[in-house]
Structure 1
Amino acid sequence: MKRRKALKWTLIGVGGGVGAVVLGGAGTLGYIWTEAKLDTAGKVDFANPLAVPPLAESTQDPSGARIFKLEIQSGTVAFKDGRETETWGINGPFLGPTIRAKRGEEVAFAVHNGLAEGTSLHWHGMHLPSVMDGGPHQEVEPDGVWAPQWTMNQPAATLWYHPHPHGRTGNHVYRGLAGMFIVDDDESEGLGLPSEYGVDDLPVIVQDRKFNDDNQFQKDGSFMSMQGFLGDAIMVNGTLAPYFDVTTRLVRLRLLNGSVSRLYNFGFSDGRPFSLIATDGGLLPKAWETDGLQLSPGERAEIVVAFEPGEQVVLRSNPAEEGYTGPLGRFNGGDDRLDICEFRAAENLADTTAIPETMGTAPDLAEAEIAAERSFSLSGFNQINGESMDPRRIDFAVREGTVEVWEVDNADGFMHNFHVHDVQYQVLTVDGRVPPERLRGWKDTVQLVPQRKYRLAMRFADYTDPNLPYMYHCHILAHEDSGMMGQFVVLGEGEEIGQVPATGSVHSHG
């Protein structure tokens, strides 16, 4: 399944077109075009049982807060026969445990950095004070300890956590630092949805990797890719060629695109329909039936799929339905077809769960009073509105308690997406039209199809800090690390923008 390296070339231009100076003429160009498509459908042996990340253990302090200890560490993993792969992980050699907490709970963390370089942990999708956010201003030095604490203050949702050091996020995620964070609440627990963790309620962290001849992760960018790295091996929860033994008729899959650059268009090998029940920010008001779901890096979705006794079916990523112009899709993985995980149903399946008629709460910001409108245009590898990230610059301030509408567009012919810290937003329109079904729930990350305008409504509530900013950025991590990111603060009444602290200075060390 390895791609062969083609001849060197020079890329000309960035926008909607691409030119190449290729040695060898049209024949070589045709070879490069053919080799740019990766197709593993029917070629994966599915020899390994799917690993299910353990639930993170916690203790309770005298105040009632739940305390989680997270150790960021290096290690090795035997992904393949031969030499073990050098990796990073959290409470283990690769990836991290699933953190699970309930709305209204007080949670506290003791995050120890056991690596030889600084890193951080950002709680992606979480509504929390900026000082607890784990962004680039909260880098934990080697042997340092960071101790964030906050009250869970949002509906049930599938979130995740990953590093966010300035300029190095992609490398740290690629080496293995990531995990799922599940938020529960009373309403979701009473719905009768599949909910037994690891049985009919599965974390599905999908990532791509590339191995060299010595079984080590290759980190070089893919040939001709404008998104950065694209791997030729797919893993789920750190498992290559995984299979899962199904014991229930309905299974809830918590899909997370945890890759640094790759887009996935999820579906099943037999084209069966499934039900989308939740997006980034939580449960939809009602399920939406589909047979395909496209997720860009950082996006999550919860789906429920039905199985019949004794059958086998493969979760697959099909070629992208949208997101690229011209030939750029093929060179950025848009034409790839990838087998991800095989599901093997038992001869007898338990049938005790169902998808209810009504579930979550619909986004409600379409009629809200708008305090301000802003525009953001993403272009190249490192610019939003013509500027690159400066950790010492606060780009703007918003007022606590207000609703703003941000119009965001991708000015290029290749993929970007847009993530905002602290808030879940409503996609009001896409190019003036009602958004597609998959974008009608609460979102914190959205793929930006080239040349379309996305109007996003978001409410800034509860937390203020004039000095410590939240981030907004492209979640294609090569783009984020190159500077496609900005920062804003949330101000209370009478507050003005303060002075952002130096990166890495706003936490304690052990």
Structure 2
Amino acid sequence: MPVISRRSLLRGIGALALVGAATGTSLRLAEPARAATASGTLKIPTLLEPTTSGGTDVYTLAMQSGTTTLLSGVSSATNGFNQSFLGPVIKVKQGDTVQMDITNNLDDVSTVHWHGAHIPPSVDGGPQNTIDAGGTFSPSFEINQGAATLWFHPHALGTTSEQVASGLAGMLIVDDATDGAAALPNTYGTDQFPLIVQSLPVSSGGVIQSTTAGELAATTSFPLLVNGSNVAVNGTPTLEVDAGRVRFHLLNASIADIITVTRTDGKSFTQVATDAALLSKPLSVTTLQLVGGERAEICLDLTSSGGSITLQATVAAGGARGGSGTSSILTLTSTATTAADDLPSSLNTFTALDVSDPDATRTIALSNTGNTMFINKVAGTTMAAMEASEIMTTLGATEVWTITNATGLTHSFHLHDVPFQVQTVNGTAPTGANAEWKDTILISPQSTTVIAMQFTDYADNTFGYMLHCHNTVHEDEGMMAMLMVMTA
């Protein structure tokens, strides 16, 4: 049986399960999704549909070039997945086996990293998993984690900042079968939406900037984009739904800048997840700060807010120079007349790691000399440099790391493979969402942050993971190191 589109089979039918015994090819079909009922000017990324073969969901991604209007009246050269800028949303479930068929139609080598995914290092998409120009890569892996908001982007040596800034970014949403996840809005395009927010350096001529020199250039401005649309040029995006509660998956896809999300009326909203997992319980917050690469999930209740809420983003420079100011990023309205059911008091089970007797303690020292960035005095600008100084751990190990920042710069620390728990920041225990699972955190200038993690499931004596600053300019300038998880 040939592999065919799930979408084409779901037209006008309920659920099907077709098995080709002779070929071993299987099509595993879910109930058809309800038609999207939202309207407005918010650009809603396409939900990428897979084909299914032998129990594996196959997603097709093409890295391609194009042009996009980022500044008024100016055309910019951009890149995207399956389109000219940004990419589709991929939505998967815990336990799924997926294959990502990636074609690199760029003129340069690249990779695709599954940021926040707990997967083997051979398919993680780091600098060891390169895709040549014109080449293809088809990693296959199991979705081995609970509900979370992840994303995918390039991670090649020396070109990560350029390629991410150019538009190569897409969202990967993980769902699971827990009661907590089921209680949250989960119909894409109806009550569940991505918000990809970027403060993007662009020259007056439309050239996207991705270096310290580009950030500092007098002709560079920092338009604020929401799902690829400049809010200053195109106006505040609008979204009208017929749901009483809406769930947003927020991603700060800026290469450097820090974004803080609030409501224009100053009222609270509900955070339900960090970048790594659902929270143990819904958390009422009035502000949500996201450093570059960080994600979070929030819920907005419309019927208790007069049917209309406007979110705004305040931008702060995370690099040598960056964006500033506050802009409205979404006006949400609802036609619903019935309030949504209360969220449960518990969404997830959070268990603190036992760090009374860790298998290892380490210092991760961040430093710089001008625009050369170091981790433990090594600039990770080549594979040879990172391999010579790689961190070695073993499967099953629990470790405690002390991250010291001797620079006067803000960094965005990200660890591949496993999430971590923040123990202290400058000697003080974290509160709120930062007290649970994370994979990306803000590291303030001249600060000390202690984190703990446990290396589970995957070991490989050839392929490694990365730890790095997710200010991609700093990453390309050397703030990246290699981690090898070895068999015990």
Aligned twin of 2:363: 375
Aligned twin of 2:43: 51
Q: What is the aligned counterpart of 1:391 among 383, 386, 396?
A: 383
CA apart distance, 1:424: 0.5
CA distance in 1: counterparts of 2:220 and 2:182, whole angstroms? 39
Distance 1:453 1:162, change over 3 A: same
- CA offsets, 1:192-226, max 9 Å, x none? 21222122211111112244444443556478869
Q: What is the aligned counterpart of 2:59 among 63, 68, 85?
A: 68
Aligned twin of 1:232: 222
CA distance in 1: counterparts of 2:62 and 2:188, whole angstroms? 23
Structure 1 residues 240-255: aligned runs within 5 Å: 240-241=230-231, 242-247=236-241, 248-255=243-250
Structure 2, unpaired ranges of 5+: 1-39
Q: What is the aligned counterpart of 1:466 among 461, 478, 487?
A: 461
8 Å contact from structure 1 (residues 398, 491) kept in 2: yes
Distance 1:137 1:223, change over 3 A: closer
Aligned twin of 2:129: 138
Distance 1:286 1:160, change over 3 A: same
**1:108 partner amino acid:** Q
8 Å contact from structure 2 (residues 279, 433) kept in 1: no
CA distance in 1: counterparts of 2:354 and 2:219, whole angstroms? 37
Structure 1, unpaired ranges of 5+: 1-47, 321-327, 494-510
Aligned twin of 2:83: 92
Bigger shift: 281-290 or 166-175? 281-290
8 Å contact from structure 2 (residues 313, 329) kept in 1: no
Distance 1:459 1:157, change over 3 A: same
Structure 1 residues 375-454: aligned runs within 5 Å: 375-380=363-368, 381=371, 382-389=373-380, 390-392=382-384, 393-394=386-387, 395-454=390-449
CA distance in 2: counterparts of 1:319 and 1:164, whole angstroms? 25
CA RMSD of aligned residues (A): 2.6
Bigger shift: 91-100 or 448-457? 448-457
8 Å contact from structure 1 (residues 59, 68) kept in 2: yes
- CA offsets, 1:54-102, max 9 Å, x none? 111211112x111111111111234566454321111111111111111
Aligned twin of 2:346: 358
Distance 1:361 1:229, change over 3 A: farther
CA apart distance, 1:369: 4.2
CA distance in 2: counterparts of 1:98 and 1:353, whole angstroms? 27
Q: Does 1:299 align with 2:291?
A: no
8 Å contact from structure 1 (residues 193, 356) kept in 2: no
Bigger shift: 72-81 or 138-147? 72-81
Bigger shift: 168-177 or 89-98? 89-98
Bigger shift: 130-139 or 202-211? 202-211
**1:124 partner amino acid:** H
Distance 1:236 1:254, change over 3 A: same
- CA offsets, 1:312-348, max 9 Å, x none? 543222366xxxxxxx9897458x3221413141454
CA distance in 1: counterparts of 2:237 and 2:123, whole angstroms? 37
8 Å contact from structure 2 (residues 81, 168) kept in 1: yes
Structure 1 residues 320-331: aligned runs within 5 Å: none
8 Å contact from structure 1 (residues 409, 450) kept in 2: no
Please state whether the residue corresponding to 1:137 is helix, strand or coil: coil
CA distance in 1: counterparts of 2:104 and 2:411, whole angstroms? 31
Please state whether the residue corresponding to 2:464 is helix, strand or coil: strand
CA distance in 2: counterparts of 1:265 and 1:78, whole angstroms? 25
Bigger shift: 217-226 or 173-182? 217-226
CA apart distance, 1:354: 3.5
8 Å contact from structure 2 (residues 162, 209) kept in 1: no
CA distance in 2: counterparts of 1:379 and 1:299, whole angstroms? 22
CA distance in 2: counterparts of 1:150 and 1:405, whole angstroms? 28
**Scaled by the length of structure 2, what TM-score is found?**
0.83
**2:130 partner amino acid:** E
Please state whether the residue corresponding to 2:359 is helix, strand or coil: strand
CA distance in 1: counterparts of 2:91 and 2:438, whole angstroms? 20
Distance 1:344 1:437, change over 3 A: closer
CA distance in 2: counterparts of 1:135 and 1:191, whole angstroms? 32
Aligned twin of 1:288: 283
8 Å contact from structure 2 (residues 115, 152) kept in 1: yes
Aligned twin of 1:325: none
8 Å contact from structure 2 (residues 302, 334) kept in 1: no
Please state whether the residue corresponding to 2:109 is helix, strand or coil: coil
**What count of residue pairs does the alignment treat as equivalent?**
436
Distance 1:413 1:72, change over 3 A: same
CA apart distance, 1:488: 1.4
Bigger shift: 411-420 or 188-197? 188-197
CA distance in 2: counterparts of 1:188 and 1:240, whole angstroms? 37
